[in-house]
Each structure stands twice: as structure tokens, then as C-alpha cells.
Amino acid sequence: MTMIAAHIQTVRARIETACLAAGRAPGTVKLLAVSKTFGADAVVQAIATGQTAFGENYIAEAIEKMTAVRESLLALSLISPIEWHCIGPIQSNKTRLVAEHFDWAQSVDRLKIAQRLSEQRPPHLPALNICLQVNVDGGVNKSGVEPDAVLGLAQAVAKLPNLRLRGLMCIPENAPDFIAALAVFTVAKDLFNKINHEGLSLDTLSMGMSADLEAAIHAGSTIVRVGSAIFGGRHSVT
Ligand SMILES: *Cc1c(COP(=O)(O)O)cnc(C)c1O
């Protein structure tokens, strides 16, 4: 077994344990393997274990990797449906690339970006899945819509054609312990519930990373985004 395969097995076990501890069915949490800074070979090793969803932060790097992965899979006669999630900041001049190449954009925090993604989504592709990134803790990492503006943004984004609003995403600062992490993730869960009470039907709450996925799952996460616990330490950090 490769190192990456062993790490994925460990992370899947952590997810299952956290689900059971929270009284949730393990199938309700999806593992997104965050492959930023790692090459196509690492992604292919993960695919060989059955992993299908990958998250990338840097758009140019991601698109190059998608092509390389496709070629490797063809060469290996490995047929697997792969899902690519954009989880990094999206500038206006990058929306076309995101609309053309990704299945999900999890880091949408402005209506203008959503409008461009909707206009630029090629008609032959299914709707682009969208999560709104929320600044749940007012952290130094200031990207994300403010909590009191999320409902309005969600209502506007839900009306756009070619997009499918799926839910919320957050990247809180590292919390000192489980209880503190749980409190922050619960802010996101409460916002998610509030938006659904207003008549939208969100099904996705993307939160939890290598260090804090247990607390996120406890609070109701449906996608955990895990990088270093699968692929190892990164040289360049976002
Ligand atoms: C890098 C990154 C991750 C993965 O972080 P790890 O701590 O390596 O698991 C998850 N989400 C986002 C938005 C990231 O940029």
C-alpha cells in the first residue's frame, strides 16, 4: 500500500469514528482530498484507493493537473468519475476558468463572482455546484461573506441559472481545543439551518480540515477538506 493510500484509510477511519461519536451515519460526510501543491501522481494514487473528490486552491495549477490526471488514468485504463472543487479565492478574471473546468466552486463570497460563473458556465456542462464561503469567526483570514449578509447572498445566488446553490463553506482560524472549534463550526451550522428555514434547500456544509475534522463533523459538516493528513506537509502554505 502506498503512503497516500494508508493516510486515506486513516482519515476515513477518523471520519467514521467522528460520525459514530456524533450519532451520524458515516455515509453523510464526504471526504474532499485537498491536493494543492501536490502533483498528478499523488492524485492518481488517491484515485486508485477509490477517492473521487479533489480540492484545489490555485486555478492554473489545478487545470494543468486535471489534464495530467486524465492522461494518467487513460494510460492506466483506470475509469473513475472525478469531481474537482475550487476552494481557493476566485478573482473576477479567473471565473471563466473555474466555470469551464470545475464541478464545484466552494469559495464564492460575492454576487458578482456568482453572476460571472453563471454567465460563463458552458451550456453542455451540468450546473456548477456552489457553496458560499462565510467568515464565521471574523478571523484574520478575512475572506468570506459576513454572517449577517449570507442569507441575502444565498437568495440572490439561488436565482441564477447554470448554478446550483448547495451550501456553505468556512475556514475558521485554528481553535485551541475541541470545544472552541465546535462553537465556531456551530455558528456555520446555525446559519445553514436559518437559510433552509427561509425556504432554500441547502444540503452541504463544507467545514473541517486535517486538524479539526472531528469537531466539524460533530457540528454537522457534510464535506471535510483534508490535505496534509493525506498528502503530507506542504512547502507553500496558503
Ligand atoms: C489547504 C486547505 C485545506 C486543507 O488543509 P489541511 O490542513 O492540509 O487539511 C482545506 N481547505 C482549504 C480552503 C484549504 O485552503
Residue 237, pLDDT > 80, answer: no
Name the closest-CA residue to atom 5, ligand 1. 227
Q: What is the pLDDT of residues 48-57, one digit of tens each?
A: 999 999 999 9
Residue 109, pLDDT > 70, answer: yes
Can you give the C-alpha Rg of the chain in angstroms?
17
Q: Which atom of ligand 1 is nearest to the CA of 169?
A: 13
Q: Which amino acid is at 60?
A: A
Say how many Å lie between the CA of residue 98 and the centre of ligand 1.
Answer: 18
Distance from C-alpha of 233 to C-alpha of 61, rounded to nearest angstrom: 18
Return the domain boundaries, the chain.
29-230
Q: Which atom of ligand 1 is nearest to the CA of 231?
A: 8
**Sign (positive/negative) of CA torsion 89, 85, 106, 18?**
negative
Three-state SS for 40-82 is: HHHHHHHHHCCCCEEEECCHHHHHHHHHHHHHHHHHCCCCCCC
Distance from C-alpha of 92 to C-alpha of 148, rounded to nearest angstrom: 23
Given the candidates 3.20.20.10, 3.40.50.10330, 3.60.20.10, 2.60.40.1180, the CATH classification of the domain at 29-230 is: 3.20.20.10
Pocket test for ligand 1, best of 209, 217, 236 (most atoms within 8 A of CB): 209
Say how many Å lie between the CA of residue 55 and the centre of ligand 1.
Answer: 9
pTM: 0.96
Residue 236, pLDDT > 60, answer: no
Distance from C-alpha of 128 to C-alpha of 107, rounded to nearest angstrom: 12
> What is the reported pLDDT for 141?
62
Residue 208, pLDDT > 60, answer: yes
CB 230 within 8 A of CB 46: yes
Q: What is the pLDDT of residues 11-49, one digit of tens each?
A: 999 999 999 999 999 999 999 999 999 999 999 999 999
**Sign (positive/negative) of CA torsion 177, 179, 182, 184?**
negative
Residue 151, pLDDT > 70, answer: yes
Residue 77 backbone class (left: φ over 0; alpha: ψ -120 to 50; beta: rest): left
Distance from C-alpha of 208 to C-alpha of 214, rounded to nearest angstrom: 7
Q: Which atom of ligand 1 is nearest to the CA of 36?
A: 1
Say how many Å lie between the CA of residue 34 and the centre of ligand 1.
Answer: 6
Q: Which atom of ligand 1 is nearest to the CA of 107?
A: 13
